[in-house]
A and B are shown apart, each in its own frame.
Chain A
Amino acid sequence: MKVNGVAIDDTFAEAFGMSATGLVITADSMKWARIAAETMCGFGTSVIGCGAECGIDCEVAPAETPDGRPGIRVLIFGFSPDALLPQLRNRVGQCVLTSPGSACYNGLVSDKTLALSAGPRFFGDGWQTSKRLGSHRYWRVPVMDGEFVIEDKCGLTTDGVGGGNLLLIGTDRAGLLETTEAAVEAITKVPDVITPFPGGIVRSGSKVGSKYKGAVASTNDAFCPTLRGATKSELAPGTISVLEIVIDGLTSKAVADAMRAGLTAATAIGTSKGLTRISAGNYGGKLGQHHYHLKDLVA
């Protein structure tokens, strides 16, 4: 299939069920809310090596945040609730609690919850106090610029999806990056999803396993342009760059919507900046519960 001159592979992205939570981080200004959120999401690209996949979902207007200040919604994905909890505590404790003027609230309405404050609140060394307002309980932790306010619990979903993906393949490295950036930009407008890698883009797609003991993943040689001819390559002559967008979402529909948005944005640019083909990564369909067929998303 071709859309605006771009070949769309007859394949699918294979994604996995994950646990996830959402937070709203506020501060005196959007600048500082974003600093806290970005710091918290640092080193949060892949559960394989980082323990969690984290990213910014969206900005939250002051009228929509619990304390009426500018906010950022962050999503965090992990293998399980048990794996998510220590990541949540450490990231909030080290990166949000420490950020000037910050406060941290639940950003996901759900019957299932995680103990968001268990950990950070004990920084108060006994001076922490709680304030229950309606059904919400907040902790006030004295810190050097006033008080750090953190909600007691945050919502948890075990219906999250991690690993939705698109592979953008092209003949112009700089042009392909611009096209991929446009796709990521379109994906950021879809609610309830993140693209956890740097700038939303992965240049080092991986395959499962390695020739080396202890390495659980290694370079996806079939998609490395410099190995074309030396390995069983998936790339056509002239291809010099492949960039991947990995998408995590709170629901399967959100991931599908995000992939659709990325595909639409990329194919709208077409071949003008070197994009020749769009594919997706999978493991033969045997590992992940969620399959997103590209042909269903470009219709």
Chain B
Amino acid sequence: MKSEEELEAFFENELSPLIAPIEEYRIAKFRKLKIYLFSALGCSLLTVLGFITKEPFFIMILSIPMIAFLGSAFSLSNKTLETLAIRFKRDILPELLGFMFDDFEYIPRQKIAASVIEESLLFPFTITGVDGEDFMRFTIGETNIMFCETTLCSGNTKNEVSYIFISATFNKYFFANTLLLPRHFDSFFQNMKRHFFQNFNKIKLEDSDFEREFNVLSTDQVEARYILTPSLMQKILEYKMKVKKEIAISFVGNRLYCAIPEFKDLFEPAFSKSFDLGFIRQNYDPIKLYTDLVEDLNLNLRIWSRQ
């Protein structure tokens, strides 16, 4: 992984020239927005005058300029944010990903298919809709990893949950399904459903810290332990502490799936914030954190039959 100095040098030498026109555009639009907002503020005096007359006709007429300026500011803000996001995701983010990884794929508008999410067996509810963006795929050593911002709808659209959904190839072959769920992730009935309809059984492991953090379920007692070696359990705990969120992991079909709750919309520029090193780091850090899963869980170690 790249060092802090390398990131700074990359920002100075490679990204800055690409950022300059976007930043110029942002500043110009931001200036325009401020003019609209100050004009709206000035015109609000007219509206006050209208209220003093207590005549509805004058109130209406004298409010029009303020409403027009506010409407223009709103429209300008939306349009500019959209343009900034498109240009950032087209010109800057791929460069940043290229700096971080040799082999990557980035599709801004793509989401993870509902079938993949269902395949992960992580979510006990019926998924009625999947939304998402910023699909990224990397090859790190011999491991293929992909992640995507994902919003799941269950029942009706009011029940929405947002995750970073990660899928990576695992370094061992296995046939059973194993789940590591945060405590209280499933309700009592969802737990029953997993037991009776999906054949999951509780696995008691030796690591008490791990047991405290995760409810481990599997369709095979031996394979669950084959996957969850004492060292992997320790690594998963360390990764959870690093992420500082309630992560859910599943091992299904020789892949590792991981869902990390994320309420922030990542990889989106802000109108009022400049495209400086701090902003680039804001985008660099989550990508690093999610792809660190490969290094942290040692997924490139292939000393077993799987070569």
Say whether A and B bind each other.
Answer: no
Interface, chain A (partner B; CB < 8 A): none
